[in-house]
Every structure is written in structure tokens, then in C-alpha cells.
Structure 1
Amino acid sequence: MTLIAQTIMRACAAAMLASSLGACSLFGIQFGTARLSEKECLMRAMYFESNRSSAEGMLAVGTVVMNRLYDAEYPKTVCGVVGQKNQFANGVLSRRMTDSGVVLAAQMADRVMRGERHSGVGPAQHFHTAGLRFPYNNMYYVLEAGGNEFYIKTRSR
């Protein structure tokens, strides 16, 4: 076989392998594609924004994402909400998820996608790291979970 034929065969094999990865998934994560599923976007927000060992914190973050999804002021897809500039952790849609928190995030994302919500979050659409305080009088705190404090923006008093 000539060198050119070998090169062509290797290129074809690589192309077939790459295309087959597009259908491969683990915990709902699609590998080999540039497009993330709605579940993966939700998982990533929950993974990067909460204490990775806290199911309650992940559920609370997932609830905020879904609360935003159903508000006209926010994008109409989970990935659009999670990918909004300056709203979630830097690199939330691109950084690697590397520890056992991935399994919990996948499980919690499934629950949120099926309609489960954290009752303590209620209609809250905002949160920040627990322990921080801001001088604004329009933040009504409803819950602390997973290293975050969740709040509802109210009219200034």
C-alpha cells in the first residue's frame, strides 16, 4: 500500500471515529460535539455554582436556572440562561468537570429537568456566595444552601 493510500485510510478512520463520538454520551454529556444538551448546561451550572457534594445546593441552583428560563427577561433555553454573560461562573460551559460531583450533578439535573424544584428557593432568580453582604436594600434572602445565598430582588425600600 502506498503512503498516500495509508494516509487516506487513516484520515477516513479518524473521520469515522469522530463522527461516531457525536452519539456517545455518559451521564447525559455529549462527547465529540460542539453543542451542549440542555441537561449538560444545567449540570454545569449546578456543578460549578454549588458545593459539589451538596444535592440541596445543586437543586437550589437548578431551580434558579429554571425560574429564569420561564421569565421573559431571560433567554428561552437552559443553555441560553446558563451562558448569559456575567451571570454564572467563568467558563461554566467550557471548563472540565473533574471530580465525583459530576455524578451528583447529572442525577440532580435529571430531577430538575423532570420538574423537581427546591421549595426554599421559591421564585428567586438570584444567588451569590454565602457570607457576602451587599449594601443594597432590594435583596430579600430566602435560603442558604450549597455555599450560596439565594434571594429575590424586591423594589428598593
Structure 2
Amino acid sequence: MRIRKKVAALAVSLTALTTLSGCTSLFGGLFSANSAHECMTRVMYFESNRSSPDGMLAVGTVVMNRVNSPQFPNDVCGVVGQRNQFASGVLTRQMTEPRSVQLASAMAQRALRGERHHGVQDAMYFHTAGLTFPYRNMHYVLVAGGNAFYARR
């Protein structure tokens, strides 16, 4: 009983510290979730080859298309964190290029405020440009940031 109370008190204290510090991911999501902005920044950073605002916005548009679809989780971090959908470790790997992090953060903010890449339309999928697959149910709509974006028919 004493141990449970101490653990509960520690959890409350750590949660309070992360809230007061303004850091929602200090403990890697153990006590609180990543913010939508952080998740969007990370997916843009790792999936757009850190190349261009155009490519990053296209990735962000796919994420938001998924958020708005009943087929996927209804929040950014839920979509980005889905297994086998985005780059391995997208929510945990270290982002090492400061300029690219800055650009991804700015583009994430734009996407979260409602800006969309007009060429992506309603596409909810993408893969590395140049790869080909034998599927007949893909309708390609755009190549941007090193990725080919498509909708399933």
C-alpha cells in the first residue's frame, strides 16, 4: 500500500513538472503524449527527405487527410504513430539537422492551421518516388519532396 502511494505521488509530481515546464514529451510519452505539432514536425522531417517546404506540406496534407478519415485515428499523433505506416522510429529518433527541424516545425504549424498542398487532393498514401508497385488500385496525384502521393481507387 505504501509503495502504491509513493508511486502515485511520484507520477503526479512528474506530470506536474512536465506541465509546468511546458514540455509534453520530456519522458517520451510515459506520462503525457507528444503534441500534435511535435508529431507533425517529426513526420515531415523524416518523410520528406528534409528537402522542401512543398514536400513537407504534401506529407502534412496526407496526415491531415487521414485524421479526417474514419479509417484512421482522429488525431495527428495517432496517425503518425500507426505501425508500418511511416518511417521507422518517426516519433522517437533524434532529429539532427537544425535547419531541417526549423523548416519542418514551421511547415507543421502551417499544416495544423489548415494549409494544404493543393496537388495532394484527397490522397492518403505516399511512397518514395521512383519505386513502382504492381497494384492497379493506385491513382497517383503528385510527386513532391522525393515522394509519390496517391489515392486508392
TM-score in terms of structure 2 length: 0.82
- 3-state SS, counterpart of residue 127 of structure 1: strand
Deviations 1:115-137 (A, max 9, x none): 00000000000000000000111
| Structure 1 unaligned regions, length at least 5 | 1-14
**Equivalent residue number for residue 58 of structure 2:** 60
Q: Would you say how many aligned residue pairs link Structure 1 and Structure 2?
A: 135
**Equivalent residue number for residue 142 of structure 1:** 141
Deviations 1:40-85 (A, max 9, x none): 1111111100021311000000000000000001001100000000
**Equivalent residue number for residue 11 of structure 1:** none
Which amino acid in structure 1 is aligned with residue 61 of structure 2?
Answer: T
> Offset of 1:21 from its aligned partner?
8.2
> Offset of 1:24 from its aligned partner?
4.2
Percent sequence identity is 58
> Offset of 1:19 from its aligned partner?
2.5
> Offset of 1:140 from its aligned partner?
0.7
Query: Structure 2: how far apart are the matches of 1:51 and 1:73?
Result: 26
Q: Which has the larger radius of gyration?
A: 1
Within the alignment, does 1:111 sit opposite 2:105 as a pair?
no
Match of 1:70 among 68, 71, 74: 68
**Equivalent residue number for residue 19 of structure 1:** 17
Taking a change above 3 Å as real, the CA distance of residues 22 and 130 of structure 1, as seen in their structure-2 partners, is: farther
Query: Structure 2: how far apart are the matches of 1:81 and 1:40?
Result: 13
**Equivalent residue number for residue 88 of structure 1:** 86
Query: Structure 1: how far apart are the matches of 2:19 and 2:58?
Result: 32
Query: Structure 2: how far apart are the matches of 1:130 and 1:66?
Result: 21
RMSD over equivalenced CA pairs, Å: 1.9
- Deviating beyond 3 angstroms after TM superposition, the runs of 4 or more aligned structure 1 residues are none
> Offset of 1:31 from its aligned partner?
5.3
Match of 2:38 among 37, 40, 59: 40
Instruction: Answer whether contact 1:23 1:31 (CA < 8 A) is retained.
Output: no
